[in-house]
Chains A and B, each alone.
Chain A
Amino acid sequence: MATQSAWEFKEGTLPETGTFAPAPKNPEDLQQIAGRPTTYWNDAIRRIRRNKLAVVGFWIIIALFAIAIFGPMLSPYTYAEQDLTNTYQSPTLRHPFGTDQLGRDQMTRVLYGSRISLAVGVVCAALNFLIGVTYGGIAAYFGGRIDDIMMRIVDILYGIPTLIIVILLTVLFKDKGVNPLVNVFIAIGLTYWLPMARIVRGEILSLKEREFALAAKTIGAPNNRILFKHLIPNAMGPIIVTVTLEVPAAIFTEAFLSYIGLGVSAPVASWGVLASDGTEAIRSFPYLVLFPALAISLTMFAFNFLGDGLRDALDPRLRQ
């Protein structure tokens, strides 16, 4: 009969001495073992700090947002300013990223494009997170008929190609005179939560049968507390991975929508639009696709690193 810790036994209930009797409880030792009292979030932040890649990712994201906000202000050019006598210039000091087919400064366009792409990526990922997690969580937690109905709706939506839904929604909102960027937010946000809902449901279904959930239920915790305080934090790993992957997916979808005329209209350009325009000229002018592609990759990596770190930090099972 081996046991790891001393304080599981109440005083006076210690078993009779034998070869494997527990060591007697020493209050001083107890004080040495105990760390500073921490909250869930304090603990998460402490753990994420130890993950170097996650920290790098975090600072890259901060830098990207800073560039998106202040970058275009510092450039001597505007994103729409053309110079037809200076088309397809290779990168120089005047134009560090070169110029495009209309002689516009590619660096300014990439800087300006980051506003749109980051906004689309982050807003859409946040919407997916909110809708998908809540929907999947509720379906799984209440189970039974509610689960059946909610998941059948998801199945039906899954059956329709996402792009068709996105296009239909965009066309619908377009005639209402909504800003095209808001269209993209709504359209992507409302459709890309389906995988998230499924993943969350699957996780919660298994978690809700676990002892800690049952324990919370037996002491009378309300449903929303069990769901949001106990179950979802435990499912955070897969959720975070899905969210970080949805950021680049949303950036690419926006590029496609803009290409077929449902996203931002020219001459405004997001990274996706710049990259898809650049691929046309990839043989002769590879730098036109290189810089927007680099920007997209950097964003993807940063979000993935941070996501990875967050997953480890937020997972209660990995708490030390």
Chain B
Amino acid sequence: MRKALSFVLISVFLVVALLGTVSCKATKGTLQEVTYNLGTEPATIDPALSQGIPEANVILQVFDGLTRIDKNNMPQPAIAKSWVISDDQKTYTFTLRDASWTDGTPITAYDFEYAWIRALSPETASQYAYQLYYVKGGEAFNMSIKSGTKYYVQAVDAKGNPVTKSVGGKDVAVPDMTKEIDPSKDVGVTALDAKTLQVVLESPTVYFLNLTAFPTLMPVCKAVVSTNDKWAADVTNFVTDGPFKLTEWSHNDKMTFVKNPTYWDKDTVKLSKITYLMVTDESTALSMFQNGQMDVGSTVPLSELPKLVASGDAKIFPYLGTYYYMFNVTKKPFDDVRVRKALTLAIDRNAIATSITQGGQVPALAYVPNGIADAVAGSDFRTVGGTFYKDADIAAAKALLAEAGYPDGKGFPAFTLLYNTSNAHKSIAEAIQQMWSKNLGISCTLKVEEWGVYLDDRNNLNYQVARAGWIGDYMDPNTFLDMFVTNGGNNGTGWSNKTYDDLISKAKVTTDPVARMATLHDAEKILMTDLPIMPIYFYTNPVLITKHVMNFYQSTLGFVDWKNAYME
């Protein structure tokens, strides 16, 4: 009896499994449906709170900003159908098209004004609020202190230092009650009428129209968001205006999007359904991809990459980012530029890219990666800027180290190389450890830390040499260069250079593109002469993708946009 039952069960299972594969094969390629592995659960779906690539990859499908980035990485009109830029390039006047939210109400300039003020207001605590600092008064408002219902500038003492008081063991900023900030007047975003939005910038910003397509600057429906602070907690009240609509969010499992029937440009959208999976493990994701359970995946196991690229299952997309090591310039012997330069010259980047990372990465002989337009149309910032040193220039490295007082590495103090947990980081660190030991005769020990601990040690300069990486936030060299100003939040090296700071400030207020790019080139040159960081390679972004997906777009910032994609 038992045997018979198990036999029946097994046969049923087999039949179901067989039917499942058959039906899959029969329908695939005709349905306009795609499954994508996001790789992780997004922390939020509220545009103001978006903080990373997973969140952006959700928000960009369901929202449409003033502009949208096209496949050439250029901003195109979206909710704004046109705009006028003033002669001093500081005032933008956007005219909105007739478009509506998913609940049927029209999108107005008031929604944009509300959304931007909301993203900037201190109580929202948006991590990307600085993307709105280009708007006049944006930074001051974001830094202000709320007292009651009003916002005030932080008080300063006679020496100009900000005043704080201790409340419950924590330092709390003290507001200056004479200096009120009224966001409706003091922040440069104003809805002139329902269809006209005026934005006044702090200083001319050539890439502002790129920024208006960034997740933090997406509009939100004022009527919904101002009355319900849990609007983005689930799909019921999640009112959006993008090409797709979120219909299901089962946490840590999947998200389902369907085509938005109220979208203004719905005729362009071909996909009827997108499913996002949240498979963290790279190997599991690869198995699912190979079994046809997903069409596109954002992660690829490093060791399988060359094989998958050769078979056409993986594609390598450009990625605007630099992988580098940073030196703690406040500690000996890394306070000596000759030591930093010797270590920079003594590694073989080409071997790392071809033998270890194997994803078509470009050896970095400068800091700003390829792919950012320079002043002259069609030119690339990197090509114009050239390279600053040779790869694996071991003779020069040895000479520099000897000059710094450590001939053949003799007397060089032992130091630690810090990296965060990842097998790729570990392999690269081991290779570089060996290169330094072989080429310069200096030894270091490797230390691995979890991301949180690593960030903490890095921000407190509690390291000697550490691994780091930076992915650009927008298509301009400034996103790479302005972080190294004195005490910059992501500087992390303790490096400070007055001329560099001045050049970065100057570039921020320069309108003439030629002069501005020249200034940024000068800044990069200082950075690459002083070498508080040692660039290793420029990132690439490998993606698992079936041949059925057409027009798949992933920006060099890592953002995926499904608006124009379709299945074949």
Q: Taking beta carbons and an 8 Å cutoff, which residues of A are in contact with B? A: 80, 82, 84-85, 87-88, 101-103, 259-261, 265-267, 277, 279-285
Contact = CB atoms under 8 A, between A and B. Distances in A.
A82 B302 contact: no
Given A84-B431, A261-B448, A267-B446, A280 B355 contact: no
B302 A280 contact: yes
Interface in B447-463: 447-450
B304 A266 contact: no
B433 A267 contact: yes
Contacts of A285: 303
A78 to B, nearest CB: 11
A103 B283 contact: no
B432 to A, nearest CB: 11
B355 A266 contact: no
A85 B351 CA distance: 8
B448 A283 contact: no
B286 interface: yes
A95 to B, nearest CB: 16
A260 B355 contact: no
A84 B303 contact: no
Given A265-B448, A266-B448, A281-B303, A84 B356 contact: yes
A259 B356 CA distance: 19
B478 interface: no
Given A87-B355, A261-B448, A80 B434 contact: yes
A283 B355 contact: no
A275 B348 CA distance: 28
B421 A82 contact: no
Contacts of A267: 430, 433-434, 446
B455 to A, nearest CB: 14
B429 interface: yes
B228 interface: no
Contacts of B446: 265-267
A79 to B, nearest CB: 11
Contacts of B351: 84-85
21 contacts: A80-B430, A82-B434, A84-B355, A85-B355, A87-B355, A101-B427, A102-B356, A102-B434, A260-B448, A261-B448, A265-B445, A266-B446, A266-B448, A267-B433, A279-B283, A281-B301, A281-B304, A282-B283, A283-B301, A284-B303, A285-B303
A285 B421 CA distance: 22
Interface in B315-353: 348, 351-352
Contacts of B222: none
What are the 9 A-B residue pairs with the smallest beta carbon separation, nearest first?
Answer: A261-B448, A281-B303, A84-B355, A84-B351, A266-B446, A267-B430, A265-B446, A82-B434, A87-B355
Nearest to A285: B303
Contacts of B356: 84, 87, 101-102
Contacts of B3: none
Interface residues of B, number: 28
A259 B303 contact: no
Central interface residue in A88, A102, A260, by most chain B CB within 10 Å: A102
Contacts of B423: 277, 280
Contacts of A85: 351, 355
B525 interface: no
Interface of B: 282-283, 286, 301-304, 307, 348, 351-352, 355-356, 421, 423, 426-427, 429-431, 433-434, 445-450
A10 to B, nearest CB: 63
A279 B447 CA distance: 22
B442 to A, nearest CB: 15
B286 to A, nearest CB: 7
B526 to A, nearest CB: 33
B427 A261 contact: no
A282 B304 CA distance: 9
Given A260-B448, A261-B447, A265-B446, A280 B303 contact: yes
A31 to B, nearest CB: 60
A267 B301 CA distance: 21
B351 to A, nearest CB: 4
Contacts of A282: 283
A285 B305 CA distance: 12
B303 A266 contact: no
Contacts of A87: 355-356
Nearest to B306: A284
B450 A266 contact: no
B431 A265 contact: no
A234 B38 CA distance: 58
A266 B434 contact: no
Nearest to A263: B448
Contacts of A277: 423
Contacts of B348: 84
A266 B429 contact: yes
A283 B423 CA distance: 16
A283 B351 CA distance: 24
Contacts of A280: 282-283, 301-303, 423
Contacts of B301: 280-281, 283
A80 B449 CA distance: 21
A102 B448 contact: no
Contacts of A82: 430-431, 434
Nearest to A265: B446
Given A266-B430, A267-B430, A103 B303 contact: no
Nearest to A80: B434
Contacts of B430: 80, 82, 102, 266-267
A65 to B, nearest CB: 28
Contacts of A260: 421, 448, 450
Contacts of B434: 80, 82, 102, 267
A268 to B, nearest CB: 9
Nearest to A266: B446
A259 B427 CA distance: 13
B449 A261 contact: yes
B27 to A, nearest CB: 28
A85 B282 CA distance: 26
A261 B355 contact: no
Contacts of A88: 303
A102 to B, nearest CB: 6
A281 B356 CA distance: 13
A84 to B, nearest CB: 4
Contacts of B433: 267
Given A84-B352, A260-B421, A261-B421, 4 more contacts: A80-B430, A102-B430, A267-B434, A284-B303
A88 B356 CA distance: 10
A259 B355 contact: no
A101 B427 CA distance: 8
Nearest to B445: A265
B440 to A, nearest CB: 16
Nearest to B352: A84
Nearest to B450: A260
Contacts of A102: 355-356, 427, 430-431, 434
A284 B307 contact: yes
Residue among A85, A259, A266 having the largest count of chain B Cβ atoms under 10 Å: A266
Nearest to A103: B355
A281 B303 CA distance: 5
A16 B419 CA distance: 90
Contacts of B445: 265
From B307, B355, B433, residue with most partner A Cβ within 10 Å: B355
Contacts of A80: 430, 434
